[in-house]
Amino acid sequence: EAQVTQNPRYLITVTGKKLTVTCSQNMNHEYMSWYRQDPGLGLRQIYYSMNVEVTDKGDVPEGYKVSRKEKRNFPLILESPSPNQTSLYFCASNIRQGRTEAFFGQGTRLTVV
Amino acid sequence: GEDVEQSLFLSVREGDSSVINCTYTDSSSTYLYWYKQEPGAGLQLLTYIFSNMDMKQDQRLTVLLNKKDKHLSLRIADTQTGDSAIYFCAETQSTNNLFFGTGTRLTVIP
């Protein structure tokens, strides 16, 4: 089954404690991206990757890092989480950038206290 | 990112038509999309329209695009309770990145 898998689905953590949210897709897609969803703001892109070892900032990259060492995986790293990063996070993948359907993971609800 | 705006809430009665509106600012938009987000789930593509089209119909869904006014709408005919969800308008432009609107929460009243 074609899918994008994020883990964990739910996470509560404390300010400053590094965390990683994993994302994996089994569709051999080149393009992957991370979004955060906040009430009244819709989805905002954090980072995206056009292929292995190619990543770039989206609209709200501050406080986040990503890596793309393999085509299937695109982890999101919060080196020092802060309460304003409490949000619902989605990973997505496309066959290629733009003009195609984006497949989304189930989301990770992160709370930073 | 570019501005993509939607109303936050819409309520309709079961069996009526729903119309969800979206406005965008970038005239170079190439594709425009409607995604649906059900509670506790990720987004799923409902339909899309290329910028040189003005209408697309797919079963109960009708997408209308007014490129001059940069206005996109999604009409759902015979709205059912299963249509209750958040609907996101999205666009890609010259950068090929996907920009989302704020989402419209559709509530269908039985």
Q: What is the pLDDT of residues A44-55, one digit of tens each?
A: 999 999 899 999
Average model confidence (pLDDT) across chain B: 90
Does B95 score more than 70 pLDDT? Answer: no
- Asked whether the beta carbons of residue A35 and residue B100 sit closer than 8 angstroms, the reply is yes
> What pLDDT, on a 0 to 100 scale, did the predictor assign at position B94?
57
Q: Provide the token pair at A55.
A: 């990543």
Q: What is the mean pLDDT of residues B54-77?
A: 94
- Which residues from A are below 8 Å from B4, CB to CB? 42
Lowest mean pLDDT among A46-50, B12-16, B40-44, B58-62: B40-44
> What pLDDT, on a 0 to 100 scale, did the predictor assign at position A101?
80
Q: What is the mean pLDDT of residues B85-102?
A: 83
Q: What is the DSSP string of B41-56?
A: S-EEEEEEEETT-SEE
Which of A5, A35, A43, A49 is the best substitution to test chain B (most B C-beta atoms within 10 A)?
A: A43
> What pLDDT, on a 0 to 100 scale, did the predictor assign at position A97?
62
Does B1 score more than 50 pLDDT? Answer: no
Buried b (16+ CB within 10 A) or exposed e, B13-38: eeeeebebbbbbebeebebbbbbbbe
Partner A contacted by B100 (CB < 8 A): yes
d(CA A72, CA B23): 34
Does B57 score more than 70 pLDDT? Answer: yes
pLDDT per position as a tens digit, A85-110: 999 999 999 876 656 788 999 999 99
Residue among A21, A10, A107 nearest A64 (CA): A21
Are β-strands A87-94 and A31-38 bridged in parallel, bridged antiparallel, or unpaired? antiparallel
In 3-state terms, what secondary structure has residue B95?
Answer: coil
Contact A21, B81 (CB under 8 A): no
B30 or A98: which leads in pLDDT: B30
Alpha-carbon B75 to chain mean position: 9
